[in-house]
């Protein structure tokens, strides 16, 4: 999808953070917004997914917070844009597709719920965003990683719409699943992510709220651009 590059020269060094539940439209919107602003796109969930993938690969249990935290401090997670595709590497291995499998999706909530794991990953995220020029996306970016963000947005959508979007994404990646399965998965993850002890999914007091259930991606990006024009100085 081509999105116009918005000419917003005063937008140097800013941090824009997008929060919200799974399937609310955060990733697609953040990616296009970053592209249109010429900013870095930081997919924080992908980092937890990469760690989960790697842990499963080398036989570390998703419940083993000590080994996981040690791993999180040791591994190198990198983002690279190749031919307009945002890729993620862990210890040099391209895991862009591998981190989206149902298996990783099943275990990532548990891995990302450990305080020690979060501390290590959040430290890396803060480092990536230290000079601004970043659109960060993920369920603690407005509250924990970048509480000082220049603009915070909380995206939401109905469970059905979110499940439908996930189904489409999975289909594009050749993963076979059903709408019912996705609805169940989304509900389970919402429950887990909202009730976990460390950094639960919650809406920051100063975050703008938008329900994207009936919005196209383009509308979502434009809604945010208008907000930037009005509020970011
Ligand atoms: O957005 P996603 O589905 O790729 O996120 C994968 C998991 O990682 C999800 O269960 C919640 C977790 N996550 C997190 O705990 N903190 C973030 N900033 C981003 C994602």
pLDDT digits over 56-100, tens only? 999 999 999 999 999 999 999 999 988 878 899 999 999 999 999
Mean pLDDT in residue range 23-45: 91
pLDDT for residue 62: 97
pLDDT for residue 81: 86
Band (pLDDT 50/70/90 cuts) for residue 7 is low
Dist. CA 201 → ligand 1 center (Å): 9
Per DSSP, the chain holds a count of helices (H) and strands (E) of 8, 8
Domain ranges, ordered by start, for the chain: 12-227
pLDDT for residue 223: 94
172 Cβ neighbours under 8 A, 6+ residues apart = none
Mean pLDDT in residue range 127-154: 95
Residues in contact with ligand 1 (CB, 6 Å cut-off): 22, 44-46, 48-49, 108-109, 112, 138-141, 189, 193
Q: Whose CA is nearest to atom 6 of ligand 1?
A: 45
Indicate which atom in ligand 1 lies nearest the CA of residue 46.
4
Q: Whose CA is nearest to atom 1 of ligand 1?
A: 45
Backbone conformation region of residue 121, classed left if phi is above 0, alpha if psi is from -120 to 50, else beta = alpha
CATH topology of domain 12-227: Rossmann fold (3.40.50)
Q: Which stretches does DSSP call E strand in 145-223?
A: 151-156, 208-211
Mean pLDDT in residue range 97-112: 92
Beta-sheet pairing, 40-43 with 85-90: unpaired
Mean pLDDT in residue range 93-108: 93
Band (pLDDT 50/70/90 cuts) for residue 181 is very high
- Where does residue 52 rank: exposed (0-12), middle (13-18), buried (19+ CB within 10 A)? buried
Dist. CA 109 → ligand 1 center (Å): 7
Mean pLDDT in residue range 127-152: 95
pTM of the model: 0.89
Q: Whose CA is nearest to atom 19 of ligand 1?
A: 45
DSSP characters over 10-50: T-SS-EEEEE-STTSSHHHHHHHHHHHHT-EEEEHHHHHHH
Backbone conformation region of residue 81, classed left if phi is above 0, alpha if psi is from -120 to 50, else beta = beta
Mean pLDDT in residue range 190-213: 87
9 Cβ neighbours under 8 A, 6+ residues apart = none
Mean pLDDT in residue range 118-141: 95
Give the integer Cα–Cα distance in Å for 28 and 125.
Answer: 19
Dist. CA 193 → ligand 1 center (Å): 8
């Amino acid at each position: 999808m081509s999105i116009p590059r918005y000419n917003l020269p005063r937008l140097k060094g800013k941090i824009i953070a997008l929060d919200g539940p799974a399937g609310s439209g955060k990733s697609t919107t953040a990616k296009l917004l970053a592209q249109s602003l010429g900013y870095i796109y930081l997919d924080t969930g992908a980092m937890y997914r990469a760690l989960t993938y790697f842990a499963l690969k080398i036989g570390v249990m998703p419940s083993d917070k000590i080994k996981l935290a040690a791993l999180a401090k040791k591994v190198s997670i990198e983002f690279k844009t190749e031919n307009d595709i945002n890729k993620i590497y862990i210890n040099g291995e391209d895991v862009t597709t591998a981190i989206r499998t149902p298996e990783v999706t099943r275990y990532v909530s548990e891995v990302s719920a450990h305080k020690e794991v979060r501390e290590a990953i959040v430290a890396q995220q803060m480092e990536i965003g230290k000079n601004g020029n970043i659109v960060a996306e993920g369920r603690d970016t407005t509250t924990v990683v970048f509480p000082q963000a220049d603009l915070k947005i909380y995206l939401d959508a109905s469970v059905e719409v979110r499940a439908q979007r996930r189904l489409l994404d999975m289909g594009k990646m050749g993963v076979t699943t059903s709408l019912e399965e996705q609805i169940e998965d989304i509900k389970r993850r919402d429950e887990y992510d909202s009730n976990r002890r460390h950094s639960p999914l919650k809406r920051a007091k100063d975050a703008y709220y938008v329900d994207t259930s009936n919005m196209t991606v383009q509308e979502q990006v434009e809604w945010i651009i208008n907000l930037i024009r009005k509020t970011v100085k």
